[in-house]
């Protein structure tokens, strides 16, 4: 960035009228929100706040930061981070326990602002957490919930401070590295309609003489399988598969016969069956988390410190193809000597030279549901040295290495051909009974455990920095200058290997899955300044300005600079204004730049619920398309076919990476005010305006968008999106879809974060008073432009794939809040929470469907039974609010990435501390 640009940005921020930090839902928030008298009571130790590397006194961050404390986590009877993080308004969705068909396999992946999971950076004590997926996603449940001291959610970008990927913001997990004693806890959460999660933890902390400290934590959690049949709203009557009993056609005569799901012979067979009640609503999971933190003084000026984190997670989850078992739709030769021919069957067949040609359409439900049995091991170790150079300057050097390995055998599928190239089903048609449901011998002959894939992610980070103030050398009239300088090196590698059956596409449901590997490294220099400009003047109690700059040299993506300008103006003890203006960057992840082309059957976009938002039918057949454009591409006539029939999508859905992908570049702005009136003690109000503006966003154009552009919104002969979905020249049906990552889009979001806390202490009420808390998010504009040739779409207050920035979080409400009232008394507390998600409408063109606002309520409490034993419990989703029903595009008739699917849930935990 040019120096003039930095001056301009700094001036722009200083002149801004408003900026703030969003208040935490926690009791401990921005320290500047506390009454001035509290600051005068005793000097504060220097700390490092999220969003800056400069030590300072008090949690006076310039960027909007919302914090959740240990106390908040306890109030949720939280066994995992997911149990409380899903209620934060800034965390729009991501991948959760009920997300189906993703590649996250039991992970909890965060998504800030609906900007996509790849654009949210996860930190542990200010340093990077090791990712597990090719999207650079981090499983935050890999951290022991018992070890969390505080969670800071910074929204507004932080690339200049922390590096790439902090586009939408940062989630920083602060660990309890100074815990002393022994703490043992056990608890569970049990849904009234079925579904349970339970576990326990042990945490031990002790001093190492008078020179060090060590903390060791062990957590175990288990989540049981919950099937969709336990919820009336999750049963999907139209989620049909080819008959499990089979439909058989004598080719010579055309006679049809088959079997019901119960096994009865019929000459009027139903073509379909419904097994949706057996689908997993909540995937089973077992997880062990182990962590160790330590520090030890080697010399008066040198301290060694480090941490080690290990997680083993085992889950059974539906993969990309969805749960449905394989389907047979082929003609086989049935011999007249077939031992499984009953008289009813024999009477329907025409034998020529002792052989009848029979068309077979049936599901191989005997194989069970398609299931990925995934085991993931994640390790991260860090070792560092730190110490003072002077009383006001400190140094820090550390290295950390992390690895995530994952193996996923697949059951419920099988091979199409054997080693000799013979079609397996055809070859066994006369030796195994293929007629009727529940043929165990058929499962043995066809089914096979596919080795699936092995994934490995490695991350190496080394860093050195100094930070402090200029107090040893000089000070400005308003105080010394704060600074941080550092260098960082990061190397990341990824590798995925596939079973040969996946590489060749020789399975029924998995398609062609490519193996690939990749690596990149980046060398970085960064610096940060905080300059006190004025203080103790009329209307200026304190005015600081600051900035940061990071130079990043990627071996694959070139050199880039990111920067931040900021201002912090305390008008008086009651009002503080803040602002930031930043240039942010996200480097492509492995799935975007290294992945080779894979494919799935195109008709999965009709048959797999998770994928159905990516296809909305053929406008030419539905009558909504431009007639001239439909004729130009030789589409079928209006009403001449069913474009939602799986046979209409004849070929493959191709997807993969793009070696020419470039980093995403964006600008973020935040403006706001913190109001802590001295005339109303214990009242804190914050309002933040933010803007996230990302250019060249990496993304894909799904078939629904390409088809809509080609035939409805931009029906021209040279529309390049038309080539992304080809047609079969013989009948006009859709043939293939091409969905590869490209620097296509632009994403712009503007909104407000509003928060308030107020503690009332009336004389007539025993205890420490009643605390009212509110934290909300209002999205004023959310624009997505998927491709320069397409129009911008206003996505605020919508749902559906049209407005999903990465195809994961499908609901983009324009309003969310979490509000609570808590009464704290001598030995405990009682708290009532209200979560609201605003009304949303379908983002697909021409639709009028909408989902009304959703409200859920929680009631929780805690009581100190003795000095060493505390009982905590709660009823979550107190009034058993079912998730909203969606007619199409969701999973289980709703959106599990956003709405609660468990219903009324009881949580209880016991914690003993010695």
Q: For residue range 460-518, what is the model confidence (pLDDT) as tens digits?
A: 999 999 999 999 999 999 999 999 999 999 999 999 999 999 999 999 998 898 899 99
Kindly report the length of the chain: 914
Half-sphere exposure of 88 (CA within 13 A, CB side): 31
Q: Is the pLDDT of residue 45 over 70?
A: no
Percentage of the chain modeled with pLDDT above 90: 65
Burial (CB count within 10 angstroms: exposed 0-12, middle 13-18, buried 19+), residue 254: exposed
Give residue 189's pLDDT.
Answer: 92
Angle (CA) 102-103-108 rounded to 5° is 80
Q: Is the pLDDT of residue 308 over 80?
A: yes
Q: Is the pLDDT of residue 815 over 70?
A: yes
Q: Is the pLDDT of residue 65 over 90?
A: no
Q: What share of the chain is helix, strand, coil (3-state, %, to 5)?
A: 15, 45, 40
Q: Give mean pLDDT, residues 828-846.
A: 90
Name the 3-class secondary structure at 76: coil
Give strand ranges (E) for 676-741. 683-699, 725-727, 734-740
Q: For residue range 341-360, what is the model confidence (pLDDT) as tens digits?
A: 999 999 999 999 999 999 99
Question: Cα separation of 775 and 835, whole Å?
Answer: 10
Q: Is the pLDDT of residue 24 over 80?
A: no
Q: Catalogue all structural domains in the chain, each as residue range(s) with its CATH number.
A: 3-226+284-318+374-411+451-592+662-700+742-913 (2.40.170.20), 603-649+703-740 (no CATH)
Which H helix or E strand runs over 604?
helix 604-607
Q: Is the pLDDT of residue 307 over 80?
A: yes
Angle (CA) 458-461-462 rounded to 5° is 150
Burial (CB count within 10 angstroms: exposed 0-12, middle 13-18, buried 19+), residue 409: middle
Q: For residue range 380-416, what is the model confidence (pLDDT) as tens digits?
A: 999 999 999 999 999 999 999 999 999 999 999 999 9
The band of 57, judged by pLDDT with boundaries at 50, 70 and 90, is: low
Classify residue 421 by its DSSP letter: S
Going by C-alpha positions, the residue among 494, 561, 550, 548 that lies closest to residue 521 is 494
The band of 778, judged by pLDDT with boundaries at 50, 70 and 90, is: very high
Identify the residue whose tokens are 């079973």.
499
The band of 10, judged by pLDDT with boundaries at 50, 70 and 90, is: very low
Give residue 478's pLDDT.
Answer: 93
| Least confident stretch, 88-102, 160-174, 420-434, 569-583 | 88-102
Q: For residue range 576-594, what is the model confidence (pLDDT) as tens digits?
A: 999 999 999 999 999 889 9
Percentage of the chain modeled with pLDDT above 70: 92
Q: Give mean pLDDT, residues 756-781.
A: 89
Going by C-alpha positions, the residue among 460, 639, 510, 490 that lies closest to residue 552 is 490
The answer to whether the CB of 437 falls within 8 A of the CB of 261 is yes
Question: Cα separation of 143 and 611, whole Å?
Answer: 31
The answer to whether the CB of 813 falls within 8 A of the CB of 838 is yes
In three-state form (DSSP H/G/I as H, E/B as E, the rest C), the secondary structure along 263-322 is CCEECCCCCEECCHHHCEEECCEEEEEEEEEEEEEEECCEEEEEEEEEEEEEEEECCCCC
The answer to whether the CB of 461 falls within 8 A of the CB of 492 is no
Interacting residues of 150 by C-beta distance below 8 A, sequence separation 6+: 26, 28, 67, 68, 69, 70, 174
The answer to whether the CB of 149 falls within 8 A of the CB of 122 is no
Classify residue 214 by its DSSP letter: E
Give residue 92's pLDDT.
Answer: 64
Give residue 552's pLDDT.
Answer: 96
Identify the residue whose tokens are 């690895």.
403
Give residue 43's pLDDT.
Answer: 43
Q: Is the pLDDT of residue 522 over 90?
A: yes
Where b means 16+ CB within 10 Å and e means fewer, 599-618 reads: bbbbbbbbbbbbbbbbbbbb
Question: Cα separation of 558 and 663, whole Å?
Answer: 9
Mean pLDDT score of the chain: 88
Count of other CB atoms within 10 angstroms of residue 387: 16
Question: Cα separation of 547 and 182, whole Å?
Answer: 43
Q: For residue range 219-268, what is the model confidence (pLDDT) as tens digits?
A: 999 999 999 899 988 887 767 899 999 999 999 999 999 999 999 999 99
903: left (phi over 0), alpha (psi -120 to 50) or beta: left
The answer to whether the CB of 6 falls within 8 A of the CB of 563 is yes
Classify residue 229 by its DSSP letter: G
- Report CA 736 to chain centroid distance, whole Å: 29
Q: Give mean pLDDT, residues 303-325.
A: 91
The band of 276, judged by pLDDT with boundaries at 50, 70 and 90, is: confident
Question: Cα separation of 821 and 831, whole Å?
Answer: 6
Question: Cα separation of 144 and 287, whole Å?
Answer: 10
Identify the residue whose tokens are 């103030």.
469
The band of 807, judged by pLDDT with boundaries at 50, 70 and 90, is: low
Question: Cα separation of 595 and 495, whole Å?
Answer: 10
Q: For residue range 423-470, what is the model confidence (pLDDT) as tens digits?
A: 999 999 999 999 999 999 999 999 889 988 899 999 999 999 999 999
Count of other CB atoms within 10 angstroms of residue 5: 12
Q: Give mean pLDDT, residues 614-623.
A: 94
Classify residue 236 by its DSSP letter: -
The answer to whether the CB of 745 falls within 8 A of the CB of 786 is yes
Q: Is the pLDDT of residue 286 over 60?
A: yes
Q: For residue range 859-875, what is the model confidence (pLDDT) as tens digits?
A: 999 999 999 999 999 99
Tokens of 71: 């106390």
Q: Is the pLDDT of residue 56 over 80?
A: no
More confident residue, 97 or 187: 187
Classify residue 699 by its DSSP letter: E
Provide the β-strand partners of residue 331: 359
Q: Is the pLDDT of residue 809 over 90?
A: no
Going by C-alpha positions, the residue among 633, 590, 819, 588 that lies closest to residue 724 is 633
The answer to whether the CB of 761 falls within 8 A of the CB of 769 is yes
The answer to whether the CB of 285 falls within 8 A of the CB of 364 is no
Give residue 611's pLDDT.
Answer: 82
Question: Cα separation of 176 and 93, whole Å?
Answer: 27
Q: Give mean pLDDT, residues 416-420.
A: 91
Identify the residue whose tokens are 């990061």.
490
Question: Cα separation of 885 and 893, whole Å?
Answer: 5
Burial (CB count within 10 angstroms: exposed 0-12, middle 13-18, buried 19+), residue 628: exposed
Q: Report the greatest alpha carbon distance in the chain.
A: 106
Question: Cα separation of 248 and 34, whole Å?
Answer: 76
Q: Give mean pLDDT, residues 642-664.
A: 92
Half-sphere exposure of 700 (CA within 13 A, CB side): 25
């Amino acid at each position: 960035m040019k120096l003039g640009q930095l001056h301009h940005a700094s001036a722009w921020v200083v002149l801004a009228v408003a900026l703030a930090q969003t208040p935490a839902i926690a009791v401990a928030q921005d320290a500047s929100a506390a009454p001035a008298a509290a600051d005068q009571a005793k000097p504060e130790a220097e700390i490092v706040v999220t969003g800056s590397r400069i030590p300072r006194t008090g949690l006076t961050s310039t960027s909007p930061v919302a914090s959740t404390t240990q106390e908040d986590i306890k109030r949720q009877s939280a066994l995992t981070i997911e149990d409380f993080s899903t209620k934060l308004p800034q965390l729009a969705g991501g991948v959760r326990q009920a997300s189906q068909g993703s590649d996250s396999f039991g992970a909890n992946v965060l998504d800030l602002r609906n900007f996509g999971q790849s654009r949210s950076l996860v930190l542990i004590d200010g340093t990077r957490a090791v990712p597990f997926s090719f999207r650079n996603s981090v499983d935050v449940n890999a951290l022991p919930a018992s070890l969390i001291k505080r969670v800071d959610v910074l929204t507004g970008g932080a690339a200049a401070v922390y590096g790439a990927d902090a586009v939408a913001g940062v989630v920083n997990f602060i660990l309890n590295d100074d815990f002393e004693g022994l703490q043992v806890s056990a608890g569970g959460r049990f849904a009234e309609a079925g579904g349970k999660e339970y576990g326990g933890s042990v945490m031990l902390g002790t001093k190492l003489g008078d020179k060090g400290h060590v903390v060791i934590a062990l957590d175990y959690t288990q989540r049981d399988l919950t099937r969709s049949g336990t919820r009336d709203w999750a049963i999907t009557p139209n989620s049909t598969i080819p008959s499990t009993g089979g439909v058989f056609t004598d080719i010579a005569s055309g006679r049809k016969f088959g079997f019901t799901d119960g096994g009865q012979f019929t000459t009027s067979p139903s073509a379909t069956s419904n097994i949706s009640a057996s689908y997993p609503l909540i995937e089973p999971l077992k997880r062990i988390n182990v962590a160790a933190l330590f520090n030890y003084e080697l010399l008066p000026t040198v301290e060694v410190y480090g941490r080690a984190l290990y997680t083993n997670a085992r889950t059974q989850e539906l993969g990309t193809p969805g749960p449905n078992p394989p389907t047979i739709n082929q003609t086989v030769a049935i011999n007249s000597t077939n031992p499984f021919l009953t008289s009813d069957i024999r009477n329907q067949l025409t034998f020529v030279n002792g052989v009848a040609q029979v068309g077979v359409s049936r599901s191989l439900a005997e194989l069970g549901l398609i299931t990925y049995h995934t085991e993931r091991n994640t390790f991260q170790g860090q070792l560092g040295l730190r110490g003072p150079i002077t009383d006001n300057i400190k140094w820090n050097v550390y290295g950390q290495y992390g690895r995530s390995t994952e193996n996923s055998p697949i059951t419920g599928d099988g091979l199409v051909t054997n080693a000799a190239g013979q079609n397996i089903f055809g070859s066994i048609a006369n030796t195994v009974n293929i007629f009727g449901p529940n043929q165990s011998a058929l499962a043995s002959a066809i089914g096979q455990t596919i080795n699936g894939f092995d994934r490995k992610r490695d991350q190496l980070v080394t860093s050195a920095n100094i930070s402090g103030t200029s107090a040893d050398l000089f000070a400005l009239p308003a105080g010394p200058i704060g600074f941080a300088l550092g260098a960082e090196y990061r190397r990341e590698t990824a590798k995925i290997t596939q079973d040969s059956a996946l590489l060749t596409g020789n399975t029924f449901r998995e398609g062609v899955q490519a193996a690939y590997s990749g690596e990149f490294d980046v060398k970085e220099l960064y610096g940060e300044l905080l300059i006190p400009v004025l203080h103790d003047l009329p209307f200026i109690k304190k005015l600081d300005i600051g900035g940061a700059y990071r130079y990043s040299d990627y071996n694959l993506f070139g050199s880039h600079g990111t920067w931040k300008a900021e201002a912090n103006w305390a008008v008086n003890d009651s009002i503080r204004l803040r602002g930031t203006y930043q240039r942010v960057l996200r480097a492509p992840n492995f799935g975007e730049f290294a992945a080779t082309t894979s494919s799935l059957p195109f008709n999965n976009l009709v048959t797999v619920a998770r994928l159905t938002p990516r296809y909305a039918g053929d406008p030419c057949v539905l009558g909504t398309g431009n007639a001239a454009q439909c004729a130009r591409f030789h589409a079928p006539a209006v009403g001449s076919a069913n474009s939602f029939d799986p046979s209409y999508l004849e070929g493959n859905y191709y997807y993969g990476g793009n070696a020419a992908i470039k980093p995403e570049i964006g600008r973020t702005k935040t403006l706001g005010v913190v109001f802590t009136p001295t005339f109303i003690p214990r009242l804190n109000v914050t309002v933040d305006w933010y803007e996230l503006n990302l250019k060249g966003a990496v993304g894909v154009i799904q078939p629904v968008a390409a088809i809509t552009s080609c035939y409805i919104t931009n029906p021209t002969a040279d529309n390049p999106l038309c080539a992304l979905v080809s047609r079969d020249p013989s009948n006009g049906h859709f043939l293939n879809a091409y969905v590869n990552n490209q620097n296509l889009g632009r994403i712009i979001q503007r909104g407000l974060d509003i928060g308030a806390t107020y503690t009332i202490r009336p004389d007539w009420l025993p205890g420490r008073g009643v605390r009212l808390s509110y934290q909300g998010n209002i999205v004023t504009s959310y624009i997505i432009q998927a491709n320069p040739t397409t129009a911008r779409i206003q996505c605020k207050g919508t749902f559906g794939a049209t407005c999903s920035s990465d195809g994961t979080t499908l609901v983009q409400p324009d309003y969310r809040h979490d509000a609570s009232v808590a009464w704290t008394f001598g030995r405990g507390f009682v708290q009532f929470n209200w979560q609201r998600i605003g009304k949303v409408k379908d983002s697909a063109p021409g639709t009028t469907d909408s989902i009304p606002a959703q409200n859920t309520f929680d009631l929780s409490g805690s009581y100190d039974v003795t000095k060493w034993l505390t009982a905590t419990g709660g009823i979550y989703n107190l009034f058993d609010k079912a998730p909203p029903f969606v007619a199409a595009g969701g999973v289980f008739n709703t959106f599990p990435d956003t709405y609660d699917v468990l219903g009324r849930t009881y949580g209880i935990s016991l914690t003993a501390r010695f």
